[in-house]
Chain A
Amino acid sequence: DTAVSQTPKYLVTQMGNDKSIKCEQNLGHDTMYWYKQDSKKFLKIMFSYNNKELIINETVPNRFSPKSPDKAHLNLHINSLELGDSAVYFCASSPHAASNTGELFFGEGSRLTVL
C-alpha cells in the first residue's frame, strides 16, 4: 500500500520533447508538492497545492505546469525539455493545509534524463 506513488520511475527523453509525471497520494492529505533534486542532491521546492489550489510557485520556468485534478493527485507536465531539466523529481504530501509544520511524505522519485 504505497502512500505517495509517482509514475514513471524512470524517464529518458530527447531535448525539446514534452513529458508528464503523475503523482497520487492515498493518505487523505490536503497539501501536495513537487520537489526537484539535482545531481548535487539539493532539494528545491517547485510547487505546492492545497486542496487543488496553487499556494507555492517558486521561480520555475513556465515550461513546467502542475495540475491538480483533485486533492489526491498532482501531476507535472514539462514542455520543451532541456538538458538542465535532468534531475530526480519528488512528489510529496503533508496533512496540514497551507502550513509546513508537519511531516512530508515523499514518493519514490522520478528520474528524468534529457539527452
Chain B
Amino acid sequence: GENVEQHPSTLSVQEGDSAVIKCTYSDSASNYFPWYKQELGKRPQLIIDIRSNVGEKKDQRIAVTLNKTAKHFSLHITETQPEDSAVYFCAASNDYKLSFGAGTTVTVRA
C-alpha cells in the first residue's frame, strides 16, 4: 500500500518568512496529491492539490511542486501570516485510496 512520509513534524517561522513542508510517497501509481489545512479544533480543509501531469501549481501565497521521478512533493507558503498557523497534511492517492502524511504543525510567530 501507499506510504506517505511528511517532514518536518513541527515548523516555527517568523511572520513574513516562507514555510516549506516536504512529503515523499512510495506508490508510483499515485496520481493525485492534495494538501489539507486543519486549524485548531476544526475540520481539515483542502487548500491546494496537484495531479501527476503537472509539476507545479500556485494559488496566491501557496504553491505545490511535484517530482514524480523522485516521488516527492512539497508545499510552499510565502509571506506567512498568523492565520497560517495550523496543522498541514499532505496526501497521495492512487485512484483507490487517499493516504495522509502524519502532519506538520506550523506556528507563525508575530
Contacts and interface: CB of A to CB of B under 8 A. Distances in A.
A43 B43 contact: no
Nearest to B33: A101
Interface stretch (A63-71, A78-86, A105-113): A105-113
The listed residue with most A CB atoms (<10 A of its CB), out of B36, B87, B89, B98, is B98
A104 B49 contact: no
A90 B44 CA distance: 9
Chain A interface size, as a band, is 20 to 34
Contact of B32 (A90, A101, A107): A101
A56 to B, nearest CB: 6
Nearest to B32: A101
A42 B31 CA distance: 22
Main secondary structure of the interface of A (DSSP, over half): loop
Nearest to B36: A104
A99 B87 CA distance: 25
A73 B56 CA distance: 36
Contacts of B97: 45, 48, 56, 100
A48 B36 CA distance: 19
Nearest to B103: A41
A100 B93 contact: yes
Nearest to A108: B43
A103 B49 contact: yes
B93 A43 contact: no
B102 A42 contact: yes
Contacts of B44: 43, 90, 104, 106
Given A41-B102, A42-B103, A43-B103, A104 B46 contact: yes
B36 to A, nearest CB: 8
Interface string B78-110: 000000000101000111111110110100000
A108 B97 CA distance: 21
11 contacts: A43-B100, A45-B99, A56-B97, A98-B96, A99-B96, A100-B93, A100-B98, A101-B95, A104-B34, A104-B44, A107-B43
Interface of B: 31-32, 34, 36, 38, 42-46, 49, 51, 87, 89, 93-100, 102-103, 105
